[in-house]
A and B are shown apart, each in its own frame.
Chain A
Amino acid sequence: MRKLYYLIYILPLAVLISCSKDLPTELAYENYVFSSTDEDGGNWTPILLSSGSEIMIAEPKETSSAEYQAELMEVKNAIASITSQQKENLKKWTNNPVIRWNEIALELIAKYNLIPGPNEDGSYTLPNPANPEGPPVFPFSHPPYASRALAYMSVAQFDGLISAWHYKYKYNRAAPYLQDLEINHAYEENPIPSYPSDGAVIASASAEILKVMFPLEVEYLNSKMSEHLESLLLSGENVQSDIDGGVKIGEEIAALALTRASTDGMKNAQTSKAVSDSIANAAYERFGWMWINQEAPQRPVGLTPLFGKVKMWSVPNVEAIRPPVPPTPGSPAYEEDVKILKGYLAEHSEEYRRIANFWQDGLGTYTPPGHWNEFANAFIVKNKLNTLRAARTMAYMNMAIMDAGISCWDAKYYYHYPRPIQTIEGFETIASTPNFPSYTSGHSVFSAAGAEVLAYIFPDEADKVRGWAKEAAISRVYGGIHWTFDATVGTTQGINAAQYSIDRAKIDGGDNF
């Protein structure tokens, strides 16, 4: 009996200890040796700038100058009194902070990806950029919003880094740790000139974009930026003037990107009820059906009916990739789909459930565009890309994803096709039905576009990522919220949309190595 009591006390203790998990809050990676330095990166074709030299920064002081020597001393002193927290920060930011800023964006997307609930009287209040505190708070970072925030941030990083590369190899100023051997270098050696700091370009471009996309997070983003800029100095890779040059580039390219954003049509995407009704009626006139929100209380306007009119990055004309008309409800092709959906629901398959949940990326998460950014982050580290190539990957992928989203939304509100819960009597779902028309599936289009760009940049992963995109597409059918043709046609649509970005990437100079 004593033995039994002993076991009673020991067993749970053992369980407690063995089960204590360190739950990851970011991608785990160490700083690394880049697979290339891309000396000609300053000649690559940017997205918004005419060339890498368009943004002007001052010519750096000679390394022999008193000013530069004083800056070296400042670095030395800072490193000499480094705190344990600052050491942690160095480890966290690494020498590829493109990933960390991407993760900050994903975190803010997840934080603000909350759909406003109804008011007491059953009405809904929409987030208002003029009054971001709300309630409800601004923004509601749904998938179109997320795709756009990520695209502008990545494009600003990429253009800013082309500019930085231009000056790095123009002035060829070596890093502080090479100037003074007493300066400790925190990271692996990469022979890339230090003026201007690429890290500072990434920090300031990212922070400036995100501050506008998430206006309530200005303080948080400023603190992240100062922490990062401080790390650049403490790493031994940059003096203050390297950082200042980078910040200047970051601010200028962010301003340019934000100018484009202010006139890209997004501010008109969420329409009035009158406009929304006229869009629905036009579809009804044209096809004889229309999507109707099934929530209670009913939402009067779907999500961003005019996102399909937002300015695209690489596709000249959204109608060029508009998919064909979906099956008419009641037609044999439609009825076949009803049977398939009912079959999935009845099957209670744990495998379908797993797939539906793995790809759900619903409210409160980083959205499907965010999921593909997470994949891209991992591939960037795996392939040891430098910051310029990392930003290039993200820029083309996120432009393609946003273009695909615009194309998807064009189809959604042009065809205004009903969701399964609207037309199948008594139908139930295991995923949450979103507040916009069914055809085509956003997950399918976003995912196919993301996968195509990743397949182009990382050809070894092509089969894998294309397989993921197909699974993401069908996951929505398993979830009960999409028709199979929403998924299959959406995949093709995403591939088509991405091709324009890939064609552009092929001639930007980045492939010439």
Chain B
Amino acid sequence: MVNYIIFILVVAGVYALLAQSLTLSWGLAGLVNLGLVGFFAIGAYASAMTTKWGGWPIPLGLLAATVLGLFTGFIVTISTLRLRDDYLAIVTLGFAEVVRLVASNEIWLTGGTDGIAGVPSIVPRAWGQGYHVTMLAIVSVLAIATCALVRHLAASPWGRALRAVREDQVVAAVAGKPVIRLKAQAFSIAAAIAALAGAIYGHYTSYVAPEIYQPLITIYVFLAVTAGGVGRPAGAFLGAYLLIGFLELTRFMAEIVPGVSPVQAAATREILVGLALILLLRLKPNGIMPERNQKAPPSTA
């Protein structure tokens, strides 16, 4: 049981990292990034390939993943400059599918659908429970640090400008804000965070394969951010833990109900997830921790 809870907390930590990524790109910059899982995959592959096949030390692998995430994030932004809202969502969704298809079909590069098994772990797996506890510490510290970073960014003048772009980019441009640069920066940093999360997850579970990176993961992260509070880093952080906690809790809830067949239990879980989302959006439409407006400084006149 203890191992299970630790494992779930590590997974939740990875989701918390992804949620920070989404908070930055969607919550603050208003860029609907349905390609989140694509960046997650890029990070996982970058780190797995460099450390397993290239023999790089793991910190370098993580760095490679982050840098590659930053770079692909930048490429995606400059190729979608004119897109917003639904159109951007469609293109980014397509981007994630492209990543998955390339990973499946470019066998010489990625190992194809077999994936990469036996990705080196950050600390020795032989430590048993110690391994999981150490990973929990690493992931939690990273998640908290990223949350603090995004909070800091959001509160900075840069963050305010970003929100101005989110609300109305024409107005922001008229006010002299460099709209394109702001969007590119936010999106690239967000992609780098997602890639880092992917790298960590790959090292933790020791297996990377195209089938892991399905849109389901993106949807879960959107759920987490929506539940926690869009545009509020602490909310997204909380939302990720709540989401994973809830997803796992539904297993036990479905088991308690007597006379339910496994397939009914699986369906019940999905119903519960949907129901929870509807209830949440009815009762707390802005999430558990809604975004706070920054007060204007007191007038000095």
Q: Do A and B come from one complex?
A: no
